[in-house]
Amino acid sequence: MSSDGRLNCSRKLAHVLAPAHKAVVTMETRVLIPPSWVELASLISASREEGFLFLVRLEHEYLSGKVRYDGSGETLLGVFENSRLIAVGGLTQETDSDVPCTGRVRDVYVLPECRLRGIGKALLAELERRARPHFKVLVLRTSGVAIARFYERVGYSRAKANSAYSHRRVLAS
């Protein structure tokens, strides 16, 4: 755990030692392909209650075969806390971009009760680590002001006004 009390998720199993009177918390990031719809159900339901439809769309698009997260460099990751899925985030190729080797960050969602603990930041860092061998630039689309602040906080820049994306990040090699 870092000095400000945040949890650092790593792709390997991380044991976070709590004070003796508290339980040990385990955090793990895993590839969710093929997705476990049973595990994803609580995130889909929570996101829908907040008015976000992108995880509902994820399920429809995966089942219809439209977006499978299985192309070169693509992935869908889940963060598990004590074996419970608490966050999800995806990466796909962005073929519409003028810039070759562009990837798209998508479907990033952290359960409301797990927010502001560094989970989203750690998940993006892991997506970027996996993206680096395949993509030079990552783009994303968001219209939410607060969500934009999150992406800007973790290193994404606002795209030009007429761009198809809201944010982008050039990946260092």
Residues that bind ligand COA (CB under 6 A): 52, 108-110, 115-121, 140, 142, 144, 146-147, 149-150, 153-154
- For ligand COA, the closer of residues 16 and 133 by Cβ is 16
Q: Name the residue with the smallest CB distance to ligand COA.
A: 120
Nearer to ligand COA, 40 or 108 (CB): 108
Distance, in Å, from the CA atom of 31 to the CA atom of 101, rounded to the nearest integer, reads 22
Minimum distance between the CB of residue 118 and ligand COA, rounded to whole angstroms?
5
Look up residue 115 and give its two tokens: 């927010």
CA separation for the pair 127, 150 (Å, rounded): 16
Q: Give me the least distance between CB of 105 and ligand COA, in Å please.
A: 8
CB of 20: closest distance to ligand COA in angstroms? 26
Q: What do you get for the CA distance between the two ends of the chain, in Å?
A: 28
Instruction: Read off the amino acid at residue 144.
Output: G
Q: What residues form DSSP beta bridges with 170?
A: 137
Taking the least distance from each CB to ligand COA, the nearer of 30 and 121 is 121
Least distance from C-beta 150 to ligand COA, angstroms? 4
Q: In what order do the strands lie in the sheet with 102-110?
A: 14-16, 25-31, 75-81, 84-93, 102-110, 137-140, 167-170, 157-158
Whichever of 147 and 171 has its CB closer to ligand COA, that residue is: 147
Q: What are 152's two structure tokens? A: 């800007």
To the nearest whole angstrom, how small is the minimum distance from the Cβ of residue 8 to ligand COA?
Answer: 10
Task: Give the residues across from 79 on adjacent strands.
Answer: 29, 87
- Give whichever of 33 and 147 is closer to ligand COA, judged by the CB atom: 147
